[in-house]
């Protein structure tokens, strides 16, 4: 879109030569009484980036009052921040229209009609759209204004509404135009460590994709994101991806932000995701690595050798058709993201995997597990089949501190046992686990 010069005055062919110029409106304003009548001129703001085009529509709202015969107003803006590209009248079949463009301003003089009931603007529950203005943001990061004004002399116009009952001086509202700096977002995949049993190597693990803004500046402007990634299909199989963290609220939640759209697709060697939580419920991201997508993988056992294995979960913009970019959406504009890939370390473990704290291997962690430890340590009780699970505080020492830490957790809400806890795994402390059959499948 290129700037189009506008003539200072132009009538519409086939229409009345009746011209509502600045002088006529001003004279009318002096000779006729003005009244409020509930008329409001509205221009909402925009979030834009340098060299981005954007549109602001001037609207007229009135909850009571007479039909509108004509209107005039001016709009002023900072030429160092934005440039006017084009103007378009949205009022249909006017008797006369004059749109004039100046340095840092434009004005509108429009006669909608001359007789009641013949093409006049009636009272509506919604606002009438009057003029569409297309702009180009040229300034650096800043907050600027596009606001109502009388326009520059000598052709300045009053901000008035002419109705069937007389002239009305409207109230008016304008929103800020925020020109934003596309600083970029950081997408990461968390590193993961997974112990696998040499005797039963098939394992499942979860990791997360996070999103952050290392140099916060967008406040509440982020509306969604898309991304894609790849993995080694000979070693890993992706089972699912699901929303987590701040986007885990499904659409319709009473508490914003709500997730409006979530699409996650899986390929043999990767995945891609598209998320919309914006529109009315944007999310603020800062330098914190905020988890947004949960990924669950299956490790294929046939390639595990009993040695430590390393594999990469990498970002990729080659997934999907057409390929899905790695971007965050701000104010309707895509901001390219920086990425940090994740590394998965697969560690062999002799014996069964276990859930720390479940000393009696019944699939639950409660007072009975602490009593099992006390019984073995002080009453010649039976030796548990998985000593590693009985090291409840994870310090590598099997003593009375383990049942005490369990009782504090179960009875008094103290910190839970360290990993592996809540799901079966292992650690590097060297405890044996001869048998632990309380791990859920998958």
Least confident of 210-214, 247-251, 390-394: 247-251
Task: Give Cα 64 to chain centroid, integer Å.
Answer: 38
Fold assignment, 351-442: Type 1 dockerin domain (1.10.1330)
pLDDT reading at 12 higher than 50? no
Which contiguous run of DSSP H or E holds residue 210? strand 203-212
Cβ(276)–Cβ(224) below 8 Å: yes
Residue scoring higher pLDDT (178 or 281): 178
Residue 288: how many other CB atoms lie within 10 Å: 11
pLDDT band at 80 (very low <50, low <70, confident <90, very high): very high
pLDDT in tens, 128-165: 999 999 999 998 888 999 999 987 877 788 999 998 88
How do the domains of the chain map onto residue ranges?
Answer: 22-179, 185-349, 351-442
* Residue 259 pLDDT: 67
Distance between CA atoms of residues 398 and 36, nearest Å: 82
Task: Show the beta-strand stretches assigned E in 50-152.
Answer: 53-62, 68-77, 82-89, 96-102, 105-111, 128-137, 142-149
* Residue 258 pLDDT: 57
Least confident of 193-202, 205-214, 254-263, 417-426: 254-263
pLDDT band at 422 (very low <50, low <70, confident <90, very high): confident
For residue 110, CA distances in Å to 13, 72, 119, 130, 166 come to: 14, 6, 13, 9, 16
Determine the average pLDDT of the residues in 214-223: 67
Query: Per DSSP, what are the bridge partners of residue 179?
Result: 48, 142
Distance between CA atoms of residues 266 and 237, nearest Å: 10
pLDDT in tens, 388-408: 899 999 888 888 999 999 999
Does the fold of domain 351-442 match that of domain 22-179? no
The total number of residues shown for the chain amounts to 442
* Residue 8 pLDDT: 30
* Residue 287 pLDDT: 83
Least confident of 35-39, 45-49, 92-96, 184-188: 35-39
pLDDT in tens, 26-52: 333 333 333 345 899 999 988 788 888
Determine the average pLDDT of the residues in 166-192: 87
* Residue 392 pLDDT: 92
* Residue 75 pLDDT: 96
Upper half-sphere CA count for residue 258 (Cβ side, 13 Å): 10
Fold assignment, 185-349: Immunoglobulin-like (2.60.40)
pLDDT in tens, 363-382: 999 999 999 999 988 888 88
pLDDT in tens, 100-115: 999 999 999 999 987 7
* Residue 3 pLDDT: 29
* Residue 337 pLDDT: 87
* Residue 78 pLDDT: 96
Q: Tokens in use for 160?
A: 């008035």
Determine the average pLDDT of the residues in 213-240: 84
Distance between CA atoms of residues 239 and 284, nearest Å: 29
Crossing angle between the packed helical segments 401-412 and 367-378, to the nearest 10 degrees:
160
* Residue 58 pLDDT: 96
pLDDT reading at 362 higher than 50? yes
Residue scoring higher pLDDT (35 or 438): 438
pLDDT band at 217 (very low <50, low <70, confident <90, very high): low
Average pLDDT over the chain, rounded to whole?
81
pLDDT reading at 224 higher than 80? yes
For residue 188, CA distances in Å to 115, 150, 209, 263, 329 come to: 65, 51, 6, 19, 17
pLDDT in tens, 315-348: 999 999 999 999 998 877 788 888 999 999 888 7
* Residue 63 pLDDT: 75
- Phi/psi zone of residue 367: left (φ > 0), alpha (ψ -120 to 50 degrees), beta? alpha
Q: Tokens in use for 125?
A: 């529950």
pLDDT reading at 220 higher than 60? no
Residue scoring higher pLDDT (107 or 384): 107
Top-level CATH class of 22-179? mainly beta
pLDDT reading at 293 higher than 60? yes
* Residue 339 pLDDT: 92
Q: What is the pTM of this model?
A: 0.54
Residue scoring higher pLDDT (84 or 175): 84
């Amino acid at each position: 879109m290129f700037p189009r010069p506008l003539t200072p005055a132009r009538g519409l062919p086939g229409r009345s030569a009746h011209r509502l110029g600045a002088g006529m409106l001003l004279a009318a304003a002096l000779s006729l009484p003005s009244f409020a009548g509930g008329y409001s001129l509205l221009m909402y703001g925009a979030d834009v980036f340098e060299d981005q085009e954007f549109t602001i529509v001037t609207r007229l709202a009135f909850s009571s009052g007479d039909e509108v015969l004509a209107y005039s107003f001016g709009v002023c803006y900072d030429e160092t921040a934005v440039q006017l590209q084009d103007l378009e009248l949205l009022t249909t079949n006017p008797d006369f229209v004059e749109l004039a463009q100046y340095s840092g301003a434009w004005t509108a003089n429009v006669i909608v009609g001359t007789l009641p009931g013949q093409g006049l603007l009636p009272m509506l529950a919604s606002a009438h759209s009057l003029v569409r203005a297309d702009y180009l943001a040229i300034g650096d990061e800043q907050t600027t204004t596009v606001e109502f004004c009388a326009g520059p002399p000598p052709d300045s116009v009053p901000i008035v509404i002419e109705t069937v009952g007389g002239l009305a001086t409207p109230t008016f509202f304008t929103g800020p135009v925020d020109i934003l700096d596309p600083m970029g977002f950081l997408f990461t995949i968390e590193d993961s460590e997974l112990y696998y049993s040499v005797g039963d190597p098939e394992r499942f693990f979860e990791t997360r994709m996070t999103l952050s803004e290392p140099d916060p500046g967008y406040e509440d402007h982020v509306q969604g994101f898309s991304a894609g990634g790849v993995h080694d299909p000979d070693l890993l199989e992706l089972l699912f991806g699901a929303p987590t963290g701040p986007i885990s609220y499904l659409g319709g939640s009473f508490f914003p932000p709500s997730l409006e759209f979530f699409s996650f697709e899986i390929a043999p060697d990767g995945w891609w995701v598209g998320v919309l939580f914006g529109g009315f419920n944007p999310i603020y991201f800062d330098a914190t690595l905020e988890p947004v997508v949960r990924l669950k993988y299956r490790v294929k056992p046939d390639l595990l050798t009993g040695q430590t294995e390393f594999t990469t979960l990498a970002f990729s913009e080659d997934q999907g058709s057409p390929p899905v970019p790695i971007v965050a959406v701000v104010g309707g504009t895509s901001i390219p993201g920086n990425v940090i890939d994740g590394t998965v370390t697969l560690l062999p473990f002799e014996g069964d995997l276990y859930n720390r704290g479940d000393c009696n291997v019944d699939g639950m962690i409660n007072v009975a597990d602490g009593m099992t430890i006390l019984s073995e340590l002080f009453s010649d009780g039976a030796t548990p089949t998985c000593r590693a699970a009985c090291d409840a505080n994870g310090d590598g020492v099997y003593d009375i501190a383990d049942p005490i830490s369990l009782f504090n957790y179960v009875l008094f809400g103290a910190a839970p046992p360290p990993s592996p806890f809540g799901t079966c795994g292992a650690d590097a402390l060297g405890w044996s686990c001869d048998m632990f059959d309380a791990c859920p499948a998958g």
